[in-house]
Structure 1
Amino acid sequence: MMNPINSLFGERLEYIPNSELHVTPTKKHVRAPTLHRLGIQAFLPLLVEGRAICLHPLVCKGFNADFDGDQMAVHVPLSLEAQAEARLLMFSHMTLLSPTIGDPISAPTQDMLSGLYVLTSGNRRGSPLWLRWRLDQRVIAAREAPIEIHYESLGTYYEIYAHYLIVLMAERPTQVFHNKVIDGTAMKRLISRFIDHYGIGYTSHILDQVKTLGFRQATAASISLGIDDLLTIPSKRWLVQDAEQQSFILEKHHHYGNVHAVEKLRQSIEIWYATSEYLRQEMTPNFRMTDPFNPVHIMSFSGARGNASQVHQLVDTGYLTCRLVEVVQHIVVRRTDCGTVRGISVSPRSGMMADRIFIQTLIGRVLADDIYIGSRCIATRNQDIGVGLVNRFITFRAQPISIRTPFTCRSTSWICQLCYGRSPAHDDLVELGEAVGIIAGQSIGEPGTQLTLRTFHTGGVFTGGTAEHVRAPSNGKIKFNEDLVHPTRTRHGHPAFLCSRDLKWNPKMAPYISAKRKGIHITNLTRTARFLSEACDLVFDAASRGKQFLIVGTKNKEADSVAWAAIRARCHYVNKKWLGGMLTNWSTTETRLHKFRDLRTEQKTGGLNRLPKRDAAMLKRQLSHLQTYLGGIKYMTGLPDIVIIVDQHEEYTALQECITLGIPTICLIDTNCDPDLADISIPANDDAISSIRLIPNKLVFAICEGRSGYIRNP
């Protein structure tokens, strides 16, 4: 077989299999599935012994290849045109950047990366490998100053005279490096800097040497994993004891009836989840303080290995790629300029976009208008935007910046070069004839196969010890009223009884019940009228003093009535869903309200329409979500003075928050409620539409009367 690459350049060979060609023949290797263009790459062949293809480790990421039996097809381009295409467009050293976002894709991984991580982590005395010197100075110093290797042998530290990564750039002594530990993220940034300063050709030569350096250092470090390397933090014991103590206290509260079973389950899961999260956060500093060269720490935090989660590939995403390509395969760059004068305005000062997103949005685009700072023009129309120009925009605080995008291109079935901008694959303006539609479809579909589905078991220790059966606290028999049950059968044919309504009622409601007929409790309307009168007097007095009210009712049948009554009385209301902590965690709610008001202002002024389509869609979804849950309290500037709850049983969380904060409450209570929880409890049927409309309307009328008096006598 053939060795498809000896280096990322591909060296000219003495042996030429086809004597008719006057140049070294190229071979194209294809690994299925070809989800993006990097699944097909060209190499210079080298005949080797054996029946396996020897593949360069840095191109495996582009192929998404590993060494567990993968197969590759070998294609031989015969014509001179096909040979030229393979050499100019498909050579492996031309595919260092991802065609999706432009990040380096041919980067050291696994053993190479762990070796570089150990090499650049600094020695035991804390002396860094890289200093803020120029390369020519550092190369001279490296020949005189010893650099310590970070592994031990028989208690002796080896010292060598080496220059490592710095010698790779000795021919270009102009770059300044910072003291930095090389992990996966730092390596990608370093490769990007190499490409920006020295081009793809010289960078591929550097990467070939970095690969060799990483393997050599990984071999010298001899990283292995043993049971003793799995360290346990000292605080784990008392953290687990504290969690067990909290669970024991919670169990006692549940036994005495202070905590509901559902609430007990939720709090238990929160206790153990918080404990596991704290342990996870403490692992990193524990590794760094005890043994920074622990193999688990090196493999996990260098980015070499460490994903122990169960991985399921989303195979359906491959079919998504096919469908996307069918839709956009006709979109090709056919002209240099379509002549459009439209553009999308991007501004970092609007508060809607972070600096990182602002930079990513601008880099690679083309300006639609000239940029002026005062009377000085710092950038002209149709100028492509690079890192230097973005830094100038940030320095001079230029805004707004109008850029050209494919959405503003005047063409219908193709796209122009300036509206598309730079190609991420080679960091230059896209070339004419580039099939950008197919590239876009592949870029969307290909990452889907790399996604992972993780099932987080948040129950942890608690759910593992759940009892297999539940014991009743006392002996007895359950008797059902014959008028309320009807004989029926389950779907398996077993005999059963069907209840016509809920049989639960609270014994504390006995004074509020006048009679019981056929299992139905009839409310004492005299008490209802008396407590309703007290509530009307309370809200009238509060409204006459300018107090604020909040009406809560989230059941579907009462949502519209609650909203109508609250708007009529100019009160705040919640009629969709009560978000936990809406009052007790008021600082968070206030932050969400500020965000909601800002988004509403941006929408009214048309600011959302000037953003890129993806960002605008995301912000509109946020606005719709906030409108649904916070639309009734968008003008609330502080905690309410009185809260009116339509259904105490349904809005139990809201009632508990009011009790915690000491806010007076007025509640409609049915026979399954506790009348002692609210300040004023109005007995009524909270399932009847007429009851839901009548009582809140009486309260709203009293509020309106009180507000009119407050306006007349401020």
Structure 2
Amino acid sequence: MHSNNLDTSKDFSSITIGLASPEKILQRSYGEVLKPETINYRSYKPEKDGLFCEKIFGPVKDYECHCGKYKGIRYRGIICDRCGVEVTRKKVRRERMGHITLAVPVVHIWYLRSIPSKLSYLAGKSTKDLERVIYYEMFMVVEPGNSGLKKFELIDEDEYLEIESQFGYLGVSDEDRDNENYFYAAMGGEAMKEMLSRINILDLKAELVEIVKTSKSKQKRGDALKRLKVVQSFVPDLSKKRLNKPEWMIVSILPVIPPELRPLVPLEGGRFAASDLNDLYRRIIIRNNRLKQLMEIKAPDVILRNEKRMLQEAVDALFDNNRRKTAIRSGSRRPLKSLSDMLRGKTGRFRQNLLGKRVDYSGRSVIVVGPDLKLHECGMPKNMALELFKPHMIHELMSRGYTQTPRSAKLMVENREPVVYKVLEYVVRDHPVLLNRAPTLHRLGIQAFQPVLVDGKAIQLHPLVCSAFNADFDGDQMAVHLPLSLEAQMECRMLMLSSHNILHPANGQPIAVPSQDMVLGCYYLTRPKEGDKGQGKMFGSIQEGLIAYENKAVGLHAEVHLKYKGHWVKKTTVGRIIFNSILPDEVDFVNKIIDKKELTKVVNNAYLISGNYKTVLFLDRLKDLGFGMATLSGASIAISDVLIPSEKKGILEKAQATVDDIKNKFDRHILTDGERYNKVIDVWTRASTDMAITMMGALEIDRGGFNPVYMMADSGARGSQDQIKQLAGMRGLMAKPQKSMKGGVGEIIESPITSNFKEGLSVFEYFISTHGARKGLADTALKTADAGYLTRRLVDVAQDVVTYITDCGTINGIVISDLKEGEEIIEPLSDRILGRTILDDFIVKGEVVVKSGSVLSDSDAELIGDSGVQNVRIRSILTCEAKRGCCAKCYGWDLSTHELVDIGTAVGIRAAQSIGEPGTQLTLRTFHIGGTATRIIEQSEMVNKRSGIVKFSDNYDSADTIDETGTNVTRCMVRHAKLLIVDEDGKQNASFNVPYGSTVFVKDGELVDAKTPLIKWDPYTDIILARETGL
């Protein structure tokens, strides 16, 4: 039994996982577990023959047997004659396995319940039928004898008793008995084992191959192919040392895993912390021992059958407690954690311990803002640095001669002697560290920084990298990792340093853009103020303007004129002169109010014109200016800053009157309930939108546009029109908590909250609010998991797409045009083709402007977009002909560098992160709106954007009629008609669908100006129009 020397050689090329035979399990085992006991509750020593037995699994203490006869390393390898324990190291309790010999064979739940069911495919029977046999409900015919039944047919108990009496062992002649020609049926694992051992795998394979080749039924061929896949895995293959027998799916000898992998730890107060596996094993042993006793005393079949079923269920629970219909639970009603649960999912062995591990040289702490840091720096607490860099410190202290031994150097560090901090400054210099914030949703979730030693215990983070990490300073924590090898440090410095990651890899837009206070500061700085001190002055240079401001000769918001690079900039402000003074020299003068969007454009422009280095310096100057000006503005929020519009009453009364009219129509059966509901919701959504627009208009003129609440929303620093609407307008419609929003009836509560937070809500309104607010919180918790799972699945399908070669040489591609919704361009052609490889020469006036095969730069894309061409053929990874992954030319630019993608870039994973990361962010942001219902008003009219001549499609037909208000109108009488706007040359400028029954305001051939209403319709009413008058 103890001669199982495991082969631990490392010279192998592949691992094959196969079924373990009962002989293999016995060979691996060190002894049989006979008793359900674990440890003695008085002595805390393992019980003999129990689940923790020292004789089977090895000693609890190093080189000491159970009874204490042999103690010490000199007795190593001796087996105690008194207690039978081998004197060896206690480590073996992590490796040695035991076994339980089961009284009856038991089916392994993995091969029965997993999808597809291996047993079901092999036997050619449904899983339900097999379950009836395995759980002792029906008999399976193993040998039909002369009964006339088919082999492996299922019969119930009454049939069995009847046939057994006639054709069974006792009912047949002696000759049939000698020839084993008698009826035999069985139940449970025994029946399954008999059946599987009688299957001839090679014959079954040949039979299935024949069906696949000859059968005309698609269903039969499909089923045979599925079965063949399972059968193939049981065909012996000596070249691969593969031998799997079907009957090994039935367990007759159950392995018991080493005790250290299912520990039982005594706690104070006489209680124990135990692994669930011990409970599951105990249950099996108790039932197995009871079954053996019942079999010995020849108990009735009914009792035995019940006991066997219970044993089968106990083994099922051990292997996979979740696959059973009712999981076995602990005393606290919690399902016990089975062997499968230890492997499965996020906390299982694979994902928790093998794919992701805890690492040395790491620490974590709360983050605080470090406004004085440069973009590539982070503030690291001195104590954390001492701990992280301890080995480096010990080496440096010894090499400088402060100490001779590592031990004394370690003591110096631990005692925090003054010289240590001097050495620490040297060690930390030029050694980058990695900062990571969980959840790491995309590659910018881990970035490298140069540490700057700081006092205190919190890590300081540069404000501009917050958006990449999605970090804020409300108690977020971050982990620090130390790159050790020279290659790792090099990678950190060259690729991962935050100053090299200022563009978002998903869309190429800057991500290190100032936000919140900094945006507010820049907005305040660049906003003009009528009649400010020094208005109308002229300055010959930026310096002149700055000197005038510093000497208080001119106000910050005064409109002035400036000579810049030889040209006069008319109507700028002193604030804008200050803003432009920090821009890189190559960038043109920016004479606009700088809000969040404009700031992104400025940073992007600076990056394209001046390059990475100058942009990083500019970003740090921008951060300092933004914070400085936000402080100077003294912007704060008071209740008096939130203005309720005077038109509110009128808007509400008008909306209420419309709703009353809709209700009246419904009462007269003119409208259905669905139409009434949608119209009411639409009216209130419109009223809410009007209120918001009116309110923002009132805020804009308050204090000459310097109302703090308005500045915050308008600049994009914080808050939105929707949130201010709830403060000063009306809360609006609230959402009903529902699992999925499909746009149906009843998803929005139709009585709106007409009060706002400044006025205060009534009890009823507050009660309605709670609905939506709770929905927001629940969504945040539940949908985040869904979004995370989506990212995992996306990574799973895309992870093999890597750029392996530069050019695959394909001549295929895809056609790209403007991305439109109706007539509105969502993404123009120039944006969609930027950084892609063009397939055909682009010719303007007979001259090749862009050659085929070239990667389109910003200027190329703009030129193609401005030329008015409708579509362009470009190369795509969908048509790439690379043998593995894709090629760089078909992929195009790496958006984070604006260069052709490098060979070896994992573009598939990047694509998965680019979709998954915003998805997760959206679910986390739900609860900021507080559950108010957001619904886009259904489009009900078409207005042309360019002037031109009206032209209808050939199938268009109309009729003149009178509408409900008594007005003469023209109605469209056909479905799928189109209205086109063409220019004088006949070139189409726009195209609109004309819905059936819509009111048409224009005639064929009519010349219309821009912004002319063309068609109008009711999106919620389906009307049927009569072509002729009559009864």
TM-score normalized with structure 1 length? 0.60
CA contact (8 A) 1:116 1:214 kept: yes
- The 5 Å alignment of 1:493-508 reads none
Q: AA paired with 1:201?
A: Y
Partner residue, 1:594: 978
For the structure 1 residues 45 and 275, does the alpha-carbon distance in structure 2 shift closer, same or farther, using more than 3 Å as the test? same
Letter in 1 for 2:872: I
SS in 2 for 1:210: helix
Summarize the Cα distance change of 1:367–1:265 in structure 2 as closer, same or farther, 3 Å threshold. closer
Give yes or no for the alignment of 1:380 onto 2:851.
yes
- Deviations 1:458-495 (CA, angstroms, capped at 9, x unpaired): 89xxxxxxxxxxxxxxxxxxxxxxxxxxxxxxxxxxxx
SS of the aligned residue for 1:442 comes to: helix
Question: Cα RMSD between the aligned structures?
Answer: 4.7
2:774 pairs with 1:304: no
Q: Structure 1 residues 274, 385: CA separation in 2 closer, same or farther (over 3 Å shift)?
A: same
More helix by share: 1
Q: In the alignment, which of 279, 299, 321 is matched to residue 791 of structure 2?
A: 321
For 2:462, which of 21, 36, 56 is the aligned residue?
56
Amino acid aligned to 2:514? P
Partners in 2 of 1:383 and 1:209 — Cα distance? 37
Q: Deviations over 1:47-104 (max 9, x none)?
A: 2111111111111111111122222111100111000000111101111111111111
1:338 counterpart residue number = 808
Q: Quote the offset at 1:652 in angstroms.
A: 9.2
The residue that corresponds to 2:373 in the other structure is 6
Check conservation: 1:9, 1:205, Cα contact below 8 A. Answer: no
Structure holding more strand per residue: 2
> What is residue 707 of structure 2 aligned with on the other side?
294
* Preserved contact between residue 520 and residue 712 of structure 2 (Cα < 8 Å): yes
Please list every run of 5 or more consecutive structure 1 residues that lacks an aligned counterpart in the other structure. 152-158, 460-569, 573-579, 599-621, 631-636, 639-650, 666-678, 681-714
Higher gyration radius (CA): 2
Deviation string for 1:368-392 (max 9, x for gaps)?
2222224321111222112211232
Q: Per-residue displacement from partner, 1:200-243 (whole Å, max 9, x unpaired)?
A: 22111111111111111111212211211110222222223333
In structure 1, the residue matched to 2:493 is 87
Find the partner of 1:423 among 880, 885, 894: 894
Q: Which has the higher contact order (CA 8 A, sep 6+)?
A: 1
Aligned to 1:442: 913
- Judged with a 3 Å threshold, the aligned counterparts in structure 2 of structure 1 residues 128 and 456 are, in CA distance, closer, same or farther, namely farther
Amino acid at match of 1:654: I
Whether contact under 8 Å (1:25, 1:83) holds in the other structure is yes
User: 1:547-604, CA deviations, whole angstroms, 9 ceiling, x for partnerless residues?
Assistant: xxxxxxxxxxxxxxxxxxxxxxx999xxxxxxx9xxx997899896328999xxxxxx
- Work out which of the residue numbers 603, 615, 619 in structure 2 matches 1:203: 615
Give secondary structure in 2 for the equivalent of 1:204.
helix
Deviation at 1:25, TM superposition (A): 0.4
Q: Which amino acid aligns with 1:34?
A: T
Provide the identity percentage.
Answer: 32
Q: For 2:606, which of 181, 194, 202 is the aligned residue? A: 194
**Paired residue for 2:449?**
43
Matches of 2:609 and 2:478, distance apart in 1: 34
Contact kept in structure 2, 1:371 and 1:398, CA below 8 Å: no
Counterpart amino acid of residue 1023 in structure 2: A
- Pair 411,186 (structure 1): closer, same or farther in 2 beyond 3 Å: same
Deviation sequence 1:480-521 (CA, Å, 0-9, x none): xxxxxxxxxxxxxxxxxxxxxxxxxxxxxxxxxxxxxxxxxx
CA distances 1:140-181 after superposition (whole Å, capped 9, x unpaired): 444346552469xxxxxxx99995322223xx5343224211
CA displacement 1:4-25 (0-9 Å, x = unmatched): 9921144999999646679610
SS of the residue 2:874 aligns to? strand
Structure 2 counterparts to residues 10-409 of structure 1, below 5 A: 10=377, 18=392, 24-125=430-531, 137-144=541-548, 146-149=553-556, 163-169=577-583, 172-247=584-659, 267-291=679-703, 292-307=705-720, 308=723, 312-313=779-780, 314-315=783-784, 316-346=786-816, 354=825, 356-397=827-868, 401-409=872-880
Counterparts in 2 of 1:274 and 1:206: CA distance versus 1, 3 Å: same
1-side partners of 2:433 and 2:825: how far apart?
A: 45
User: C-alpha separation between the residues in 1 aligned to 2:621 and 2:956?
Assistant: 71
| Structure 2 Cα separation of the partners of residues 77 and 585 of structure 1 | 76
The question of whether the paired residues in 2 share the 8 Å contact of 1:129 and 1:179 is answered with no
SS for the counterpart of 2:878 is helix
* 8 A Cα contact 2:379 2:452, kept in partner: no
Q: Distance in 2 between matches of 1:259 and 1:334?
A: 63
Asked if structure 2 preserves the Cα contact closer than 8 Å seen for 1:132 and 1:177, the reply is: no
AA in 2 matched with 1:373: V
Cα distance in structure 2, aligned partners of 1:184 and 1:117: 8
Aligned residues: 491
Instruction: Write out per-residue CA displacement over residues 623-666 of structure 1, whole angstroms, 9 at most, x where no aligned residue.
Output: 9xx99x98xxxxxx99xxxxxxxxxxxx99525x65xxxx546x
Shift of 1:401: 2.8
Are the structure 2 counterparts of residues 585 and 222 from structure 1 closer, same or farther at C-alpha, using a change threshold of 3 Å? farther
Unaligned 5+ runs, structure 2: 1-364, 397-426, 559-572, 727-772, 936-954, 958-963, 983-990, 997-1002, 1005-1019
C-alpha separation in 2, matches of 1:69 and 1:329:
34
Match of 2:1023 in 1: 654
Q: Which amino acid aligns with 1:381?
A: S
Name the CA distance, whole Å, in 2 between partners of 1:126 and 1:418.
56
Shift of 1:187: 0.9
Deviation at 1:395, TM superposition (A): 4.3
Give the residue type in structure 2 aligned to 1:300: A
> CA separation in 1, counterparts of 2:667 and 2:819?
56
Q: How does 1:665-680 map to 2 (within 5 A)?
A: 679-680=1030-1031
Residue 273 (structure 1) shift: 3.1
Q: Which residue of 2 aligns with 1:520?
A: none
The CA deviation at 1:253 is 6.5
Letter of the aligned partner of 1:109 in structure 2?
A: S
Specify the SS of the correspondent of 1:654. coil
Q: Supply the distance in 1 between the matched residues of 2:534 and 2:818 (Cα, whole angstroms).
A: 37
Aligned to 1:47, the other structure's residue is in SS state strand
Residue 828 of structure 2 aligns to a residue whose secondary structure is helix
Change (3 A) 1:589 1:192: farther
Report Cα offsets for 1:320-367 as digits up to 9, x if no partner: 111111221121111111111122233569998949421111111112
Quick one: distance in 1 between partners of 2:972 and 2:555? 51
Deviation at 1:127, TM superposition (A): 9.9
Alignment check: 8 A CA contact 2:441 2:916 kept: yes
SS across alignment from 1:72: strand
CA distance in 2, matches of 1:283, 1:398: 42
Is the Cα–Cα contact under 8 Å of residues 120 and 129 in structure 1 kept in the other structure? no
Q: What one-letter code is carried by the residue in structure 2 that aligns with 1:192?
A: N
What CA distance in whole angstroms lies between the structure 2 residues aligned with 1:233 and 1:255?
34
CA distance in 2, matches of 1:349, 1:266: 29
TM-score scaled to structure 2, two decimals? 0.42
Between the aligned partners of 1:210 and 1:243, the Cα distance in structure 2 is 46
Relative distance call for 1:458 and 1:404 in structure 2 (3 A) is closer
The SS at the match of 2:863 is: helix
CA distance 1:164–1:130, change in 2 (3 Å):
farther
**Structure 2 partner of 1:467:** none
| Cα distance change of structure 1 residues 139 and 420 upon mapping to structure 2, 3 Å threshold | farther
Tell me the distance in 1 between the aligned counterparts of 2:876 and 2:536. 41
Cα shift readout 1:645-691 (whole Å, capped 9, x = no counterpart) = xxxxxx99525x65xxxx546xxxxxxxxxxxxx43xxxxxxxxxxx
**In structure 2, C-alpha distance between the alignment counterparts of 1:7 and 1:65, rounded to whole Å:** 18
Q: Kindly indicate whether the alpha-carbon contact (under 8 Å) linking 1:121 and 1:128 is maintained by their aligned counterparts in 2.
A: no
8 Å CA contact retained: 1:122, 1:128: no
Partner of 1:345, secondary structure, is: strand
Report the Cα offset of residue 430 of structure 1.
1.0
